[in-house]
Structure 1
Amino acid sequence: MTTEKLYEVNNVELCAETFGDPADPALLLIHGAGASMLWWERELCGKLAARGRFVIRYDQRDTGRSTSYPVGAPTYAMSDLAADAVGLLDTVGVDKADVVAVSMSGGTALILGLDHPSRVASLTFVSTTTGDDGLPPPSMPHFDSPDFTDPAAVEEYVVRSIEAEAAGHFDEPAARELVRQDLARARDYEASLTNHFAMTFDGPRNGGFADLRMPVLVLHGDADPLLPLPHGEAIRDAVPDARLIVLAGMGHGLSEPYWSTFVDALVEHTERSR
């Protein structure tokens, strides 16, 4: 049984799901490029809710059951994704949330923190970057795009991509099941894997990382092959009083062996914003 709901936000449909007591402090989870809310695993959301958090996960535009655009032609910017997050908080009745963002969505979280600071209690950046020149490039293998008319080929492409990012913490059955569920839910999976890279990257209006004024936590694996550790260190160095937790052996994203550390760190961090 699912508790997913479709919400009308900024003239688009966003699919979201909540966990826990709405009276608890809200935690808004934003996954990375092309990833639906399923990439915030249900079990992990449950663990956070059990620690006294009202957890909100959702499909951004062009992922999952949310509004999809023609492949390669999204008519939105990253600032629109940030505005969607604010609109979703309005719709579910949340005044202010602790925001957690993974990878590319760190840019969305930065816009939220700078252009909508009254709605953000704290920020947590997982496996993301400042995007500064001079940071080390990815060390991942290149995978050719699959034939999107062949679901098996698409599944294999995404599973192998997850494996490459995982840096040794790879659970193939779990990854394959996630991808199959993602494929089954998506309005257009080719758009999911394409359009976040084709949108307009406009950035915040009100400064940069150094201008953030809420508590900031950075979580980064020291084996991340997509955004190596210096990317996370750059955020720590750019944000006043930011704290960096280095997760030994973790690749890109949040592998299950690190969930307990993540939950403990996030609960402690978000207490600072109360």
Structure 2
Amino acid sequence: MACVTSPHEFNSTEKIIHANGIDLCVETFGSPTDPPILLLAGGGPAAMLWWNEEFCLRLARGSRFVIRYDPRDSGRSTTYKPGAATYTLPDFANDALAILDEFSLSKAHLVGFSLGGGTCQLLAVRNPDRVASLTLMSTSPVGAHPEETDDLPAPPEKDDEEFGMILPQNWEDPDEAIPFLVGMARSCAAGSLQAFDEEENTALARRVFNRSINIQSFMNHARLVFVRWSRESLPKVKAPTLVIHGTADSVIPYAHGVALSKEIEGASLLTIEGNGHELPRGVWDIIAPSILRHTAIN
């Protein structure tokens, strides 16, 4: 399925690559001669834009070649009708490998948030030779539904309105879609000690809406988030691993990050006190230098 021209804005610095029978939209920061970092976003519509340009530039200024991209069903990458997608987490992992191939990278440092962290785990197990290091942020060893486990708590229950899930009747209407996207971000930040920046999140939601081929298609990501990940494979992960998790994460509770740090041999845990399921500016001074130190290992 080809990536068609969005009816909204297009960032001319982005690049469409063709791989695995689909189109993937990517953008880079920094010099290709520097150690590469591939950023993998969580499930949702923001995709590459979730990784703020200024955050990417902080990493690039630390002599890193930073790559961010839109996964399937988000942004300017290939989208499917809601409910019609058949891809799996291994498909997401293969897409990440295709991006490395596009830039002739034998391996890269992987930084994954939430669902992106699940993709990183799979890559580290199946393709260890392509993974220089792992940074797993606000993610889990099992995915979003840990009912089968006794030791990992489920997210606190929220009603539809609280979780921002009163769906737009018309996804093409920015007056419906943009407040919905802001509501999702606000819900993910619930309980955080960081003040929710309404203005910045509204501006981000508007950019996400304007560059998305089909904003509604991100809901297909649930097929990956709500399928149990392979926790039993974690002992196979040999890549140097840094786990970053906020104590106020109301989407994937902090205990999931603790479990990851214990079940991946040699992993270290960076606890962000009072942070939610988010990457707000208030924690960049902690997280960006930590990633740069961790990715300096090889």
- Could you say whether these structures have the same fold, taking a TM-score greater than 0.5 normalized by the shorter chain as the test? yes
Gapped regions of structure 2 (runs ≥ 5): 1-10
Shift of 1:64: 0.3
Shift of 1:208: 1.1
TM-score normalized by the length of structure 1: 0.94
Tell whether 2:21 aligns with 1:11. Answer: yes
Asked if the contact 1:78–1:202 (Cα under 8 Å) also holds between the matched residues in 2, the reply is no
Write out per-residue CA displacement over residues 89-123 of structure 1, whole angstroms, 9 at most, x where no aligned residue: 10122111000000122211111101111110001
Residue aligned with 1:125, SS? strand
Structure 2 residue identity aligned to 1:94: L
Higher mean C-alpha displacement, 168-177 vs 96-105 = 168-177
Matched ranges for 1:241-260 at <5 A: 241-260=266-285
Q: In terms of mean alpha carbon deviation, does 166-175 or 142-151 score higher?
A: 142-151
Cα offset for 1:41?
0.6
1:16 to partner: Cα distance? 0.2
Asked if 1:147 corresponds to 2:149, the answer is no
Q: How far apart are residue 177 of structure 1 and its match?
A: 0.7
- Equivalent position of 1:228 in the other structure: 253
How far apart in 1 are the matches of 2:42 and 2:116? Answer: 5
Q: Deviations over 1:171-208 (max 9, x none)?
A: 1111001111101111111112x11113595856x961
Q: What is the letter of the counterpart of residue 74 of structure 1?
A: A
Q: Secondary structure at the match of 2:67?
A: strand
Alignment map for 1:68-217 (pairs within 5 Å): 68-131=79-142, 132=146, 133-134=149-150, 135-139=152-156, 140=158, 141-142=162-163, 143-149=165-171, 150-166=173-189, 167-169=192-194, 170-192=196-218, 194-199=219-224, 201=227, 208-217=233-242
How far apart are 1:75 and its partner, in Å? 2.0
- Quote the sequence identity (%): 38
Equivalent residues of 2:17, 2:26 under 8 A apart? yes
Q: What amino acid maps onto 1:230 in structure 2?
A: A
CA distance in 2, matches of 1:147, 1:92: 41
Q: Is the 1:114–1:208 Cα contact (8 Å) retained in structure 2? A: yes
Quick check: 49-58 or 104-113, which moved more? 104-113
Work out the CA distance in 2 between the residues paired with 1:103 and 1:203.
12
Which 5+ residue runs of structure 1 have no aligned equivalent?
none
Distance 1:72 1:79, change over 3 A: same
Distance 1:242 1:15 in 2: 31
TM-score normalised according to structure 2 size: 0.87
What's the CA shift for 1:144?
2.5
**1:209 shift after superposition:** 1.2
Alpha-carbon distance in structure 2 between the residues aligned to 1:241 and 1:147: 48
For residue 151 of structure 1, report the CA deviation from its aligned partner.
2.5
